[in-house]
Every structure is written in C-alpha cells, then in structure tokens.
C-alpha cells in the first residue's frame, strides 16, 4: 500500500539507497536531514557538507528534503549523559542513546507531524511485525554490518512504524545499487566516531568539556609504574597510550588497563592479554530496556554482546526487580566495561539490553590491593 514515508537522510550512501528503494516500491518518499551539533568547532563537524550531499541525493531521486536541528535535545538527552559517564570513570556508548532519544525519539515524532505514515532509516537491521504481537527487532542479513546492538533501546511502538529497507541487503549490494543508479554518494566512505559530532581528535575534544586529572599508574601490588593523563582517556583492556616502557627485572610483555579507581584517581595495569584481572565471570547491569516492553522471563538463557562487533556470548540472565539484571557467562569474558551495554539475543531476535554497572571477578583474581578498585 502506498504511504508517505519520511527517511532520515544522513548524507551517506545507506540512507540514500534506503530512500531510493522506498520510492521504487511506490511510496511517497520525503527526506529529513537532522543536525544535532552546533557548527562552531574548527571544522570537525561535517553537517554542512553532509546536508549538501543529502540535498544532491534527494534532487537526483526527485524527493523533497526537510531540514531540522535537534542540537538542544542532543545536548540535554545524549551529550550530558556522555560527559557524566566519563566523569564517573565509565565508558559510555552515545550511539545507543542517540538512536533512542534523537532518531527514534524527537526526530521520529517530528516525522509524524510532517505526515509520515512510516519513518525509515538506512540502518542495517530487520523488523518483523504481526497483528497480534509487538514488533520484533532482528539482526541484519549482513552480519558484518548488523546494527541491532545500537537499536536495542528503541521500543516496539516505534519499530512498528519504522522501515529498514537495507535489512535484507549486503553492504556491497547497497554500494552497487548506488553506483548503478547514479547516486552522487555511491563511493562516500562510511562515517565513524561519535554519533553526529563527527570525526575529531577525541582527547582534545573531551578536554574541552572535562578537566584532565593526571594521576598514578600502578600494578595490582601497588607499585608505581608511571602517570596517566586522566582516567577518562582510558578504557578497560586498552593497550595503547600507556607510555610504559620496559622495567628492569620485569617481563617485556605489554601492559593493559585492568581497573580504574576514580576515588583515588588511580589506573591499575597488568601484563598479559588474558590476565585474571581482565577477566569477568559475569556482570550486573542497570536501566534495562526490553523491545517488547518486558523480558521474556524472570530468568532465561540467551546470547549477549558487550560491545559492537563482538561474537555472541552464551549467558544466563536474571531480572532483578524492574531496575537491573544479573548476567552469568558460560565462560569468562575479557575487558567487560562499565558504561557500555549488554545486549541480549535469542537467535536472530534482539530482546533489549542494559547499561553495564559492574563486573563479577573470576574467583581468585582479586588480591588485597585490587579489592577496592572499580
């Protein structure tokens, strides 16, 4: 059935092909370009160039293009949380909140006011709808591009009125379609970095908003090894940027960030990729969101991802009231990071996820020095 579909246009090849396919299918397609960052920061924000690319695409496929700014909403709902998490020593993933609060929040609502029967994006994911059950979020056919991890906090009410035209396609097919149909962005490279903020030197960007507090780098026994530049610049499992050379009488093995003690502004590092302090037997997570509105059961077995592109991990999930979950891994996992998301799957279906708040150590891994660390 023909309907008005408003496509979130980013200026990239994915949203361009999504709009093209929807028009080919006979829908009345309109584009919507949203800018969520003020362009006042030395040219790192690419919104102006991206808008011009979106305008060229819409002109090529002959659809109207709307433009709107959600910069205030982005700062209030996404960026403020981003800064608070880094201040507390955690490592956030703003793309998840950006999808929930901006793309499928205020932008979704704006599209409805423009008359959208459906909202669409160039995400790689699939939606399964039926008349007698909530919409289900499924992995994309292209496993290497699947973005269900970032979409896990979007509710079924939004998904029920959303289209993901690329969910059944491989990225190579998307590029081919764009090239064959003469879309001007067919060879534009995919964007990376923080959502809607562009690609910029991360350390310099973060220092603009949070003061850097250098402090001690120690091993688990409390021996001083060096000085860190500020805990916010490091994440668990990190190897690069520690500036720790070889030490007399010590192994030449590389050092890895194992723990952060925010109270003492202390970074704890260990040698060995699979050191026990880098491993976890499970985790606790908070603020769970379930696509169906509720978990499948109070306790269930599934697989999970704790970072994008990670292989699925078998686990047991226990729902704790309505505010948290406890997750036990079938096998120890490395560098599980508070602030990131645990996202749960049953086969192809994404169930939802929660923010990792703490990890459960592998038995015997903690000693008297490490016991107080976060």
Tokens of 30: 């309109």
Domain presence at residue 163: yes
Which residue has better confidence, 248 or 274? 274
* Residues 129 and 242 placed together within one structural domain of the fold: no
Strand pairing report for 299-305 and 215-218 = unpaired
Domain presence at residue 203: no
Q: Mind listing the pLDDT tens digit for each residue in 298-313?
A: 999 999 999 998 999 9
Strand pairing report for 349-361 and 279-290 = antiparallel
* Residues 157 and 43 placed together within one structural domain of the fold: yes
Q: Mind listing the pLDDT tens digit for each residue in 45-92?
A: 678 889 999 999 999 999 999 999 999 999 999 999 999 999 999 999
Domain presence at residue 191: no
* Residues 129 and 170 placed together within one structural domain of the fold: yes
Annotated catalytic residue, options 45, 58, 98, 350: 98
Domain termination site, one of 271, 292, 313: 271
Q: What is the mean pLDDT of residues 283-288?
A: 97
Which residue has better confidence, 248 or 69? 69
Domain presence at residue 48: yes
Q: Is the pTM of this model over 0.95?
A: no
What's residue 370's pLDDT? Answer: 43
Domain presence at residue 309: yes
Q: Taking 90 as the threshold, does the pLDDT of residue 366 lie above it?
A: no
* Residues 117 and 141 placed together within one structural domain of the fold: yes
What's residue 244's pLDDT? Answer: 87
* Residues 143 and 245 placed together within one structural domain of the fold: no
* Residues 217 and 236 placed together within one structural domain of the fold: yes
Q: Taking 80 as the threshold, does the pLDDT of residue 248 lie above it?
A: no
Identify the CATH number of the domain in which residue 356 sits. Answer: 2.40.30.10
What's residue 353's pLDDT? Answer: 98
What's residue 327's pLDDT? Answer: 98
* Residues 28 and 116 placed together within one structural domain of the fold: yes
Q: Mind listing the pLDDT tens digit for each residue in 31-46?
A: 999 988 875 555 556 7
* Residues 31 and 169 placed together within one structural domain of the fold: yes
Domain termination site, one of 271, 301, 318: 271
Annotated catalytic residue, options 45, 58, 107, 195: 195
Domain presence at residue 200: no
Q: Mind listing the pLDDT tens digit for each residue in 126-163?
A: 999 988 888 999 999 999 999 999 999 999 999 999 99
- Cβ neighbours of residue 109 under 8 Å, at least 6 residues apart? none
User: Strand locations in the chain, DSSP E?
Assistant: 4-8, 28-35, 65-69, 118-120, 126-130, 133-138, 162-163, 215-218, 224-228, 255-261, 266-271, 279-290, 299-305, 313-320, 324-334, 341-346, 349-361
Domain termination site, one of 129, 161, 180: 180
What's residue 2's pLDDT? Answer: 72
Identify the CATH number of the domain in which residue 266 sits. Answer: 2.30.30.280
Confidence of residue 251 (pLDDT cuts 50, 70, 90): confident
Identify the CATH number of the domain in which residue 97 sits. Answer: 3.40.50.620
Domain presence at residue 317: yes
Strand pairing partners for 355? 286, 341
In the chain, the number of structural domains is 3
* Residues 173 and 215 placed together within one structural domain of the fold: no
Confidence of residue 250 (pLDDT cuts 50, 70, 90): low
| Mean pLDDT value across the chain | 91
Q: Which residue segment(s) compose the domain that 230 sits in?
A: 211-271
Active-site residue flag, 195: yes
CA dihedral 228, 229, 235, 238 (to 10 degrees): -60
* Residues 33 and 161 placed together within one structural domain of the fold: yes
User: Strand, coil or helix: what is 101?
Assistant: helix
* Residues 107 and 9 placed together within one structural domain of the fold: yes
Confidence of residue 183 (pLDDT cuts 50, 70, 90): very high
CA-based nearest residue to 96, from 81, 116, 109: 81
Domain presence at residue 334: yes
* Residues 43 and 132 placed together within one structural domain of the fold: yes
């Amino acid at each position: 059935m023909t309907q008005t579909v408003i496509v979130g246009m980013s200026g990239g090849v994915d949203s361009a092909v999504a709009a093209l396919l929807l028009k080919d299918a006979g829908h009345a397609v309109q584009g919507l370009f949203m800018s969520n960052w003020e362009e006042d920061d030395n040219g790192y924000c690419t919104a102006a160039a991206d808008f011009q690319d979106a305008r060229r695409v819409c002109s090529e496929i002959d659809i109207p293009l709307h433009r709107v700014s959600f910069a205030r909403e982005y700062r209030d709902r996404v960026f403020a949380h981003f800064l608070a998490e880094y201040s507390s020593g955690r490592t956030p993933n703003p793309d998840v909140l950006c999808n929930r609060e901006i793309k499928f929040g205020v932008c979704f609502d704006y599209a409805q006011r423009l008359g959208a029967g459906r909202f669409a994006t160039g995400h790689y994911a699939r939606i399964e709808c039926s008349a007698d059950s909530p919409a289900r979020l499924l992995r994309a056919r292209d496993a290497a591009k699947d973005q269900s991890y970032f979409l896990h906090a979007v509710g079924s009410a939004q998904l029920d009125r959303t289209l993901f035209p690329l969910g059944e396609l491989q990225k190579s097919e998307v590029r081919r379609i764009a090239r064959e149909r003469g879309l001007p962005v067919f060879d534009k490279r995919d964007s990376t970095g923080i959502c809607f903020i562009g690609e910029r030197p991360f350390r310099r960007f973060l220092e603009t908003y949070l003061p850097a507090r250098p402090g001690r780098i120690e091993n688990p026994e409390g021996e001083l090894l060096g000085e860190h530049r500020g805990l916010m610049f490091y994440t668990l499992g990190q190897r690069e940027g520690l500036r720790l050379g070889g030490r007399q009488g010590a192994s030449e093995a590389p050092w890895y960030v194992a723990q952060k003690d925010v109270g003492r502004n202390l970074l704890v590092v260990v040698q060995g990729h699979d050191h026990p302090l880098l491993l976890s037997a499970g985790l606790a997570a908070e603020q769970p969101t379930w696509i169906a509105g509720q978990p499948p059961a109070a306790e269930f077995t599934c697989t999970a991802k704790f970072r994008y592109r990670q292989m699925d991990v078998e686990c047991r999930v226990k729902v704790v009231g309505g505010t948290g979950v406890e997750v036990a891994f079938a096998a120890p996992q490395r560098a599980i990071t508070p602030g990131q998301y645990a996202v749960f799957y049953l086969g192809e279906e994404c169930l939802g996820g929660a923010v990792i708040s703490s990890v459960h150590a592998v038995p015997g891994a903690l000693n008297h020095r490490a016991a107080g660390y976060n």
